[in-house]
Amino acid sequence: MTGKEQSYINEAFDLNWIAPLGNNVDGFEKELAEYVGVNHAAAVSSGTAAIHLALRLLEVEQGDAVFCSSLTFVASANPILYEKATPVLIDSEPETWNMSPAALERALRDAKKENILPKAVIVVNLYGQSAKMKELADLCDAYDVALIEDAAESLGADYGERKSGSFGYFGVFSFNGNKIITTSGGGMLTSNDEAMIKKARFLSTQARDPALHYQHSEIGYNYRMSNIVAGIGRAQLEAIDLRVQQRRDVFARYQEAFQDIEGFSFMPELTGARSNRWLTALMVNPTKTWVERTTIIEALAEENIEARPVWKPLHLQPLFEGATYYPLQENHSFSDELFEYGLCLPSGSNMTIEDQERVIQAIRRLL
């Protein structure tokens, strides 16, 4: 917390706006849109809700295909299943750990041959690092497919002169408790299409028709963000640049501490881009370290330090069994490699140098 959240919360109480309406909701939408560099935003209950609304607005329905990054948290793809659409999963590539333009191009080419182009492509910016958005956006434009940029983990990151989350037809953000800024729970859907954002607000408030009585002509959802939660978000957003620097400092200290360890390779930063380093992630090569990734996690747990593997790719999840998957190369899935060797270290913005040194020394003792 920044210490300023309470003033926005008090203002909501003083004005008696507690519901999913009010000055904080309006202010948070405006300020987030300005920060990201887009024209319009709708504050919602979660990043998952934002993705779901994006798919509804694109009229995704049963039988439609939606392409999605495979190396991501399940929330990126669950809304595809909400609409009974067909997920097609795309591998990552080594320079960003995000969606491979080459794999996406193969998938789009095949889809066009079969006359089943997807309604949307969901590109995830993993662990705060932007995907190769120009190449991916150019491909989507070439095939006339809408791009949804899942920037849930990458708020504050840059790609060239633009902010992460500003490249898609829709941008998606999350303010869950583990994100770089938090409202405890919440999300945002952004777009330069004002009509789409207005429709998103309509759908997210139970799709109530403009009638004196309660009338509903289409399915709606209870997806709006409360005025209190939005107040927390406004204070948090004021500190976003500081939070990004804090996370980058944590990453830099780990990188420096382990620079002599052969077999540790940290998540790269794409040339011309600036990651927010939401999590410090690396790959552990056991043939060089003589220690398995899982052994490191278990050793840290013994000292009450939590570390985790990278996300389990969706194409390996029971939920998506049978889904079509396009690997980086025909005989090489980079996501599988990341899952087998990837490690996420404690990376909180408020980590002290002493706390981080305890993590570093625990790992060095094991090695």
The single residue of 119, 132, 163, 179 carrying the catalytic annotation is: 179
Contact 146, 196 (CB under 8 A): no
Angle, in degrees to the nearest 10, between helices 227-238 and 5-15: 150
- Token readout for 366 is 């094991």
* Cα atoms in the Cβ-side hemisphere of radius 13 Å centred on 200: 32
Has 132 been annotated as catalytic? no
CA 264 to chain centre: 25
Report the catalytic residues: 179
